[in-house]
């Protein structure tokens, strides 16, 4: 019964930030479960290469989520080529690790523009398409930093905290038809976090003793939770935030 509930056969899902990391893992899992996937990333070469490895129904779209006009065209293309949109995963994101006293306004705006404003732009543009779907859902990627920030992550933590609040506001406004949930990943082994494997802002390595499971997370582990939230198995969940963080936020 559980496998039937998470069956994504012929579901049509747009995944942003699909060029690498969590977004790419989500796209691969969705394709394996029979979904038709629109892989969106500002790195067009990366999503083209990914889509070619998935299936005939996977498409690649090069787009910057912080540009409203570009996103509108990307959503229209995804709708046309997939025959509709049933789900959206807002995984596009960037990070800045820098003391607040050294954080430039341009760097702050860049993080907010992609992580928070980009999530808003894509979600807003997707609403007309999702309203025509059955069991439509949006899943936003927040962060453990939104729940329990560490020093040097002012812009990133603020952007991801905003994603949490935006998720709840969208869930209240778009229900009962469209479900909107978010997840808060911890330390995940992705290219974006590569520098944290050895040090954080010229400091010591990220201490894994903050994590009850004492290890990095794998993108596939996060992707599995996202697929669950997109599926009928999560049909009575909206406005929720799930920590997928190895126990970081409680430990």
Active site residue: 156, 211, 236, 250, which one? 156
Using CB atoms within 10 A of its CB, is residue 142 exposed (0-12), middle (13-18) or buried (19+)? buried
Predicted local distance difference test score (pLDDT) of residue 206: 62
The 10s digit of each residue's pLDDT in 146-194 is 998 888 899 999 999 999 999 999 999 999 999 999 999 988 877 777 6
**Whole-number percent of the chain with pLDDT over 70:** 91
**Cβ neighbours of residue 88 under 8 Å, at least 6 residues apart?**
13, 14, 15, 16, 122, 123, 126, 130, 137, 138, 139
**Cβ neighbours of residue 156 under 8 Å, at least 6 residues apart?**
95, 96, 97, 111, 115, 143, 145
pLDDT(246) > 90:
no
Calculate the average pLDDT of the chain. Answer: 91
Assign domain 2-242 to its CATH architecture.
3-Layer(aba) Sandwich (3.40)
CA-CA distances (angstroms) from residue 213 to 144, 207, 217, 251? 15, 12, 9, 10
The 10s digit of each residue's pLDDT in 67-90 is 999 999 999 999 999 999 999 999
- Is 156 a known active-site residue? yes
Report domain extents, the chain.
2-242
Predicted local distance difference test score (pLDDT) of residue 211: 82
Angle in degrees, 0-180, between the axes of helices 154-174 and 118-130, rounded to the nearest 10: 20
**Whole-number percent of the chain with pLDDT over 90:** 75
Give the span between the Cα atoms of 114 and 225, in whole angstroms. 22
pLDDT(207) > 70:
no
The 10s digit of each residue's pLDDT in 37-65 is 999 999 999 999 999 999 778 999 999 99
Predicted local distance difference test score (pLDDT) of residue 77: 98
């Amino acid at each position: 019964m559980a496998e039937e509930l998470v069956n994504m056969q012929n579901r049509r899902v747009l995944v942003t930030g699909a060029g690498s990391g969590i977004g790419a893992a989500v796209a691969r899992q969705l394709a394996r479960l029979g979904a038709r996937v629109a892989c969106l990333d500002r790195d067009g070469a990366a999503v083209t290469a990914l889509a070619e490895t998935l299936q005939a129904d996977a498409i690649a779209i090069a787009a910057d989520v912080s540009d409203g006009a570009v996103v509108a065209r990307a959503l229209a293309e995804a709708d046309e080529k997939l025959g509709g949109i049933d789900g959206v995963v807002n995984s596009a994101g960037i990070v800045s690790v820098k003391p607040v006293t050294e954080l430039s306004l341009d760097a702050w705006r860049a993080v907010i523009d992609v992580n928070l404003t980009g999530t808003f732009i894509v979600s807003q543009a997707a609403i007309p398409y999702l309203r025509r779907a059955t069991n439509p859902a949006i899943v936003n990627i927040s962060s453990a930093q939104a729940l329990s920030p560490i020093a040097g992550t002012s812009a990133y933590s603020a952007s991801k905290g905003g994603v949490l609040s935006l998720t709840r506001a969208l869930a209240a406004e778009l229900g009962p038809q469209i479900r909107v949930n978010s997840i808060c990943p911890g330390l995940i082994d992705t290219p974006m976090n590569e520098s944290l494997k050895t040090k954080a802002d010229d400091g010591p390595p990220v201490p894994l003793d903050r994590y009850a499971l004492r290890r990095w997370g794998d993108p596939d582990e996060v992707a599995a939770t996202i697929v669950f939230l997109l599926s009928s198995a999560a049909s009575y969940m909206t406005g929720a935030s799930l920590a997928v963080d190895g126990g970081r936020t409680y430990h």
